[in-house]
Amino acid sequence: MSDNGASQHNGTWVDVAPLVDVEHGLLNRRVFADEQIYRQELEQIFARCWLYLGHETQLPNPHDYFTTTMGEDPVIVTRDQDGHLRAFHNSCRHRGMTVCPTDAGHARVFRCPYHYWTYGTDGKLIGVPREKELYGGLDKARWGLIEVAQLDTFAGLIFATWDPEAPPLRDYLGDMAYYLDIILNRSEGGTEVIPGPHRWVVQANWKIPAENFAGDLYHIAGLHSPMVHMNMRGPMGHQGYCIHTAGGHSFAAEFGGTYQGKGNEIGYLAHMERLKARVAAEKGEAATKLIPMGVSLTFPNLMVMDSAKFRFIRVLHPRGPGATELHTWAVVDKALSPELKRETTKQIPLYTSAAGLFVMDDEETWTEAMTGARGVIGARYPLNYQLGLGGEIPVSESEYFKGSGMPGEMNRTWPDEGNMRNFHRRWRDLMSGSAWKDLPPATTQPAASRNGGRE
């Protein structure tokens, strides 16, 4: 039996191509509810793509650790004795018990409670009870914790992949790196996360909230109308952007959308205004129109939301086809004052986390969208993803960003559903099992050709 980590997939293969006809804006909702498709995406999406694990500031010191999941696979993320970030399958190589049952902490070793096999924060197997007496020649070097194939960081964000063939992180992010840079790298000194994530489970497939964050702005005028009626958000206007890049990534906002309404001014806006000059110097004036950037989705399951009141990182952890565990971290500029860090963090539970003023609407739709996907009839008729179909143009040729050199595509009209089509197209390509070299690259133009782009 292979012990090199190669895929052992031997289930029935589902050809998802007929279900995802994004060229005509049609999607079969079996992709949300089907158990086989779910198992296939754990393999083809979550065991292949670069996934967000956490933020560097969660592990300031050697031997700090936290636990999370990649798909449904439990992982420990550590800073080893040499200060390197590492990530391992959180499961003993002997009988498979979880070696670290806590969410976060500081530990020099992880000792499996079952037979006391003991591992270092570098994953090495360093202790086996009565090893010489009972095993004779156990090759401990071969039985360390299973390590991710690749780990890297971008702007303080830790990513990893189980796939040794996956392109480097920078290439995987591709053109989206240009935009993530604007959200996360605009302040000198970078960002930090505030301790304590929100964690809650909603009864919906992970792709339903993913679509929402990929850039569904069409829903704001309807679903979030209570907020408009309360004057906590301005009425939906006619100007904004839904921008997507190759590789399935995207983001969207209404110009000034989150600036309107009462209860907004906490001093955070003034901080962001100051940062615009820095971004303009590096990327050109047009890039400052993207501050705050709005909602974003880095394929497959990382959301970063950047608003006039707060910024957060949210990860969608699949828990079966019909359940998703959401983890939400406040992310602030290190340069922000302690008072503003506190105030901006308080906005997240008020507005956009479990029972937040906006998200209580969203949770309702995510859950009820699953209701119609579970039966038979829903799968006989496609869902409509045709808003703006055929109207895509390069961002750099758009009215607002003409000549900016910015990568990606948007639409002649706004809002549109190009971001969701882009997400599902990438999902379909990966689900086909294509090798990375046969997939469309996530980078479409060299950074040097962009206005003020720095490398």
Partner 1 sequence: MSHAASVREIVGTTPEQVVEAFQRQEILLLQGGRYREWLAMLTDDVRYWVPVLLERERREEMVGDEDEMAWVNDDREKLTLRVERVLSGYAVEETPPVRLRYFVQNLQVTPSADAREIGVVSNLLIYRTRRDQEGFYVGGREDVLREVDGAWKLARRKVIFDKAVLGPFTHSWIFF
Residues in contact with partner 1 by the rule CB under 8 A: 101-105, 194-203, 223, 225-227, 229-230, 232, 263, 319, 323, 325, 328-330, 338, 341-342, 345-346, 348-350, 353-355, 357, 360-361, 363-365, 367, 371
Least distance (Å) between residue 250 CB and partner 1: 25
- Cβ proximity to partner 1: between 354 and 447 the closer is 354
Q: How far is the CB of 352 from partner 1 (least distance, A)?
A: 12
Query: Which one, 347 or 404, has the nearer CB to partner 1?
Result: 347
H-run or E-run covering 214: helix 207-215
Closest separation between CB of residue 223 and partner 1, Å? 7
Nearest approach in angstroms of CB 323 to partner 1 is 6
Q: Tokens for 37?
A: 């498709």
Structure tokens at 240: 């904004």
Specify whether the CB–CB gap between 240 and 413 falls below 8 A. no
d(CA 165, CA 396): 32
Q: Scanning the structure block, which residue is given the tokens 């539970």?
A: 349
CB nearer partner 1, residue 271 or residue 341? 341
The dihedral formed by the CA atoms of 278, 279, 284 and 290, expressed in degrees to the nearest 10: -150
Find the shortest distance in angstroms from Cβ 267 to partner 1: 16
Q: How far is the CB of 332 from partner 1 (least distance, A)?
A: 11
Angle in degrees, CA 172, 175, 179, rounded to 5: 115
- Residue 197 beta carbon to partner 1: minimum distance, rounded to whole angstroms: 6
Indicate the residue among 15 and 364 with the shorter CB distance to partner 1. 364
Per 3-state DSSP, the chain is made up of helix, strand and coil in percentages (nearest 5) of 30, 25, 45
Q: What is the 3-state secondary structure (H, E, C) of 109-178?
A: EEECCCCCCEEECCCCEEECCCHHHHHCCCCHHHCCCCECCEEEEECCEEEEECCCCCCCHHHHHCCHHH
Residues whose CB falls within 8 Å of the CB of residue 285, separated by 6 or more in sequence, listed in order: none
Cα–Cα distance for residue pair 421/409, rounded to 1 Å? 12
Angle of CA points 418, 423, 428, to nearest 5°: 120
Nearer Cβ to partner 1, position 20 or 99?
99
**Considering beta carbons, is residue 42 or 223 the nearer one to partner 1?**
223
Residue 349 or 440 having the CB closest to partner 1: 349
Q: State yes or no: cis peptide before 62, omega within 30 of 0.
A: no
Query: Distance (Å, rounded) from C-alpha 398 to C-alpha 400?
Result: 6
Contact 205, 196 (CB under 8 A): no
- CA-closest candidate to residue 406, choices 305, 288, 292: 288
Q: For residue 120, which of 88, 96, 73, 98 has the smallest C-alpha distance?
A: 88
Cβ 195 to partner 1, closest distance in Å?
5
Contacts (Cβ under 8 Å, ≥6 apart) of 8:
2
CB of 199 to partner 1, least distance (A): 4
If one counts every other C-beta atom within 10 angstroms of the C-beta of residue 124, the result is 16
Q: How far apart are the first and last CA of the chain?
A: 44
Q: Is 104 or 280 the residue whose CB approaches partner 1 more closely? A: 104
| Closest to partner 1 by CB, 348 or 387 | 348
Q: How far is the CB of 453 from partner 1 (least distance, A)?
A: 34
Q: How far is the CB of 353 from partner 1 (least distance, A)?
A: 8
Nearer to partner 1, 200 or 259 (CB): 200
**426-435 burial code (b ≥16 CB/10 A, e <16):** bbbbbbeeee
- How many other C-beta atoms lie within 10 A of the C-beta of residue 52? 23
**Minimum distance, C-beta of residue 327 to partner 1, in the bound complex (Å):** 9
- Residue number with CB closer to partner 1 (226 or 390): 226
